Amino acid sequence: MIESCSIAGPGFINVKLSTQWIAKRIQNMLTDGIDTWAPRLSVKRAIVDFSSPNIAKEMHVGHLRSTIIGDTIARMLEYSKVDVLRRNHVGDWGTQVTDQDIGELELFYKVSKQRFDGDDEFKKRAQKASFYNPYIPLDLKELNDKGLIKDDEGPKVIKIIEGKKALPLVATEKDGHYSYASIDLAALWSRLPEEEVKWIIFVTLQSGTEEKYQKAWAQI
């Protein structure tokens, strides 16, 4: 299928498809129909988690990248007859939200209250923002009961064992506030059984965030 790959300029990846492969696929499409382009996948239902801007900060080019790639993956899966659930994960609704200008918050509140009262679809979307919050203490209790949380009168740290290496994952801060990791874990633990998906695909905003997701998956 792929004839060659090369890196050009400041890191562009060029992938050249085989002319023979393209000709064969076009011939199959003309003979058997356009559906022959879609690969047959064993998975029937999947979640694609992408975009996910921080509601207390400005958006940046990383969100655009994640949004485009995530939507492309979702469309490709849908073309292969996979039931795709698009998720825009809001993992930040904590203290920093209160740092916004009071005047702006009052304006936002008035406008959102009007929409909340008169628009059922808006109400559903708004309530999803903190959907996973009730799951967090239940998840942390289960981890604690299994002896996987270390508490030394400071931050509660989840102990992750990968091979012979212990990887720390902060569950709560010193003041008791939940960390990003706790919210991510709650999202994963609720999605897998309740959404009944076989695949969860995360499109991250930037490089360097892989370790966070690897630690979260290790707990699941």
Q: Considering the chain, what percentage of its residues have pLDDT values greater than 90?
A: 17
DSSP state of 193: I
Encode pLDDT of 66-97 as tens digits. 899 999 999 999 999 999 999 887 655 555 55
Q: For position 74, what pLDDT does the model report?
A: 96
Q: For position 14, what pLDDT does the model report?
A: 92
- Cβ pair 13, 7 in contact under 8 A: yes
The series of mean pLDDT values per 10 residues for the chain, 220 residues long, is 89 91 89 80 92 76 87 93 87 55 66 78 67 80 80 66 61 75 78 82 69 57
State residue 31 phi and psi, 5-degree precision: -85, -45
Which residue in the block uniquely carries the two structure tokens 């936002």?
A: 108
* Residue 186 exposed, middle or buried by CB count within 10 Å (0-12, 13-18, 19+): buried
Which residue in the block uniquely carries the two structure tokens 């892989």?
A: 210
Question: Using alpha carbons only, what angle is made at residue 197 by residues 195 and 200, rounded to the nearest 5 degrees?
Answer: 110
